[in-house]
Amino acid sequence: MLEQHISASSSSTSYQMHRIRRLALPVLLGLLVALIFFKGISVSLAVNDAYRAATQLRAMLAVSPIFNNMPAIQETVGELEAAYDGLADELRPLLPATALLRAVPEYGPLAAASPTLLSVGEQGMSLLHKGVDLVGPDIAAVRVAQPSASIVDLLPQVAARVGPELPSLAQDIATLSASLAALDSSGMPDRATLLLQGASGALALAEVIARLGPEMPTLLGMDVPRHYLVLVQNNHELRATGGFIAAIGKVTLDQGKLVELEFVDSYDIYRNDGVYPPAPAPMRKYMDIQLMLMRDANWSPDLPTAAKVARALYKSDTGVQIDGVVTVDLNAVKTIFGALGEVQVPGFDEPLTGDNIEAQIVRLWERPAEGDTAVGGATPEEQAIWWEQRKAFIPLLTQAALAHVQNGGANYLQLADALHTALTERSVQAWLDSPVAEEVLHSAGWDGGLQPEKGSDFLAVVDTNMGYNKADAAIERALDYRVAWPDAPSAPAQATLTLTYTHPIDADDPGCDLTPRYGNSYTDLIARCYFNYIRVYVPQGSELIAATGVTTDSITTQRGERGTRIFTGYFILPPRNTNVVTFTYTLPSQLTPENYALVLQRQSGTRPLPVTIAVDGTVAETTLGTAKLIWPLLDPLPQSAAP
């Protein structure tokens, strides 16, 4: 009986425990759901607070330079810091599980990126604090001293004051930039990606500016006035550093103020009694240009070399000592105006944008004034008027862009990103007469210099249009580069460079007349035969085996800038035709299959270049739009085994 009683009691207890567990399970699930729900609400609120503060700060930086609205920006930075701290506290306990949410539509990728985003946020908040603390007092002092000064005047003055301290921010900027580069934003909602848009470019620009900081007082003329040249290059008529020098601007900074900005036709920089050096031999031979004048100063593709030539010629012609040279081509103009939005410019039919500016420039070049003062005018007098006015749009564009920025019409973050893009694509290049500044710009790849690396293969194809025309607006290029060790891995490698030039214009240019002439329109200048002088820059120690597709008497080998070797050739390409040029040569013997590396540098002013590279049986294809390509590839491209 006792055993039966114990057994019954045990069964009753087991039943009650089972019943409690059955009742507890939904309660616990309910509590878990409630916890997730309320946690989700708290996280959502924290995210919303951080997003609102970040959006507000981005908007303020985009529409108002920091020295115009520093108190409000400091307040918003404080709000963002508080919101970020709250969000971080909410998210940290959840971080181990966020990766599991990647498959959730829209917000899953954002949740999965939370660990990286928190790290980016922490670095960004630290940088914001350091930056505001560093520049705040100087901004306030400049603004109080000159309450009505323009942005154009204030910016260099602030930069000159804070410049010596800026290097302290450079490493923080580089760290944040690297963290952003590692962030996978694919699949994130538009609201999140919008906050990050343009940040990488703006940070890269800021890092170089920070490294230039100690040079700022000198560069901005705080001791003596500084003079800089702006070479406006027309890349429709390709020259070594990016295009024919169509116009030349002189910029003078004195005590951090812009005191002069003047553009003139490059043909006007000339003296009848001037003494000029002889032009390079190919110009004398193919173009009948006997003297090196300012408009042809960019013969070298190494801008630091060409800039020193331009500086010497400019001083000889004008007596002005130049402290730096900046080049700008049509691609840069399109990129920068694309970031400015709509800009009203006197003389143009419609507001200018990145999409229409090239067509509008061509229209105003063809007909710079009302009446018959157009290219192809009926009388010599009309042609003379057109000649004098054909480049009058250049100062108009410059002044309108500056006024647009000065009057608050620009999105400054987009403008910074656009400038970074132009520098990366080499449509803007800069050389400064300062060893420290020159090294900073060269390291960034923004000085327009050739960049061979010791112990590596190097390739830079430099085209020079020698036809007094704008055919480069139409010319299509492709590059195929193959390296193999046909004899043995210990023997010198053999390189075969194949360049394909296509002139797609359906037109006729009978006889391929080289005589300088304008015709009746800009289109006439494009639909001409292409007279091209090629220079192929390779490592010193390379030896030419053969060249085809160029005239026999144009093939030479020469010593090149920055320790390179040059192979040359010349050809004429009529419209509706294609020309294939090959250079076959051996590379220095120290390049082996095990240590092979390549720097392939794209010429400034050219279109994105279709490239095929084959090295010892491995093939990669890409379109090169930036300054250079490094092999082995840092970012792998689609590759296949060579047949």
Final residue of a structural domain among 199, 215, 242: 199
Q: Which two tokens stand for residue 342?
A: 């709509």
**315 confidence band (pLDDT: 50, 70, 90):** very high
| Any domain includes 439 | yes
| Any domain includes 16 | no
Q: Do both 232 and 108 map to the same domain? A: no
| pLDDT value for 24 | 43
Distances (CA, A) of 81 to 48, 56, 119, 122, 170: 13, 13, 14, 9, 21
Sign of the dihedral defined by the CA atoms of residues 520, 521, 527, 529, in that order: positive
Q: Do both 188 and 312 map to the same domain? A: no
> Amino acid identity, residue 605?
G
Q: Do both 306 and 421 map to the same domain? A: yes
Order of strands, edge to edge, in the sheet holding 257-265? Answer: 257-265, 244-254, 226-234, 324-329, 428-432
Instruction: Output DSSP code: residue 116.
Output: H
| pLDDT value for 109 | 59
Q: Do both 476 and 503 map to the same domain? A: yes
| Any domain includes 258 | yes
Average pLDDT over residues 386-394: 87
Dump pLDDT digits (tens) for 413-455. Answer: 788 889 999 999 999 999 999 999 999 999 999 999 999 999 9
| Any domain includes 315 | yes
| Any domain includes 507 | yes
Percent with pLDDT over 70 in the chain: 75
Q: Do both 412 and 323 map to the same domain? A: yes
| Any domain includes 352 | yes
| pLDDT value for 66 | 54
**161 confidence band (pLDDT: 50, 70, 90):** confident
Q: Do both 307 and 385 map to the same domain? A: yes
C-alpha–C-alpha distance, residues 559 and 280, integer Å = 14
Q: Do both 193 and 254 map to the same domain? A: no
| pLDDT value for 37 | 36
User: CATH no. for residue 302?
Assistant: 3.40.630
| pLDDT value for 78 | 62
| Residue 54 predicted with pLDDT over 90 | no
Distances (CA, A) of 640 to 145, 410, 439, 599: 64, 45, 38, 21
Q: Which two tokens stand for residue 101?
A: 């949410």
Q: Do both 291 and 384 map to the same domain? A: yes
Residue with the bigger pLDDT between 252 and 82: it is: 252
Average pLDDT over residues 99-123: 62
| pLDDT value for 473 | 96
Final residue of a structural domain among 402, 420, 444: 444
- The whole domain housing 596 covers 457-641
| Any domain includes 578 | yes
Q: Do both 414 and 509 map to the same domain? A: no
Q: Do both 393 and 464 map to the same domain? A: no
Final residue of a structural domain among 422, 444, 466: 444
Instruction: Output DSSP code: residue 321.
Output: P
Order of strands, edge to edge, in the sheet holding 564-573? Answer: 557-560, 564-573, 530-539, 457-465, 598-601, 628-631
Q: Which of 419, 395, 100, 85 is nearest to 262 (CA)?
A: 395
Q: Are 77 and 129 in contact (CB under 8 A)?
A: yes
If one counts the domains in the chain, the total is 3
| Any domain includes 10 | no
* Average pLDDT of every residue of the chain: 82
User: CATH no. for residue 523?
Assistant: 2.60.40
Q: Do both 404 and 505 map to the same domain? A: no
Residues whose CB falls within 8 Å of the CB of residue 317, separated by 6 or more in sequence, listed in order: 269, 270, 271, 274, 294
Q: Do both 371 and 486 map to the same domain? A: no
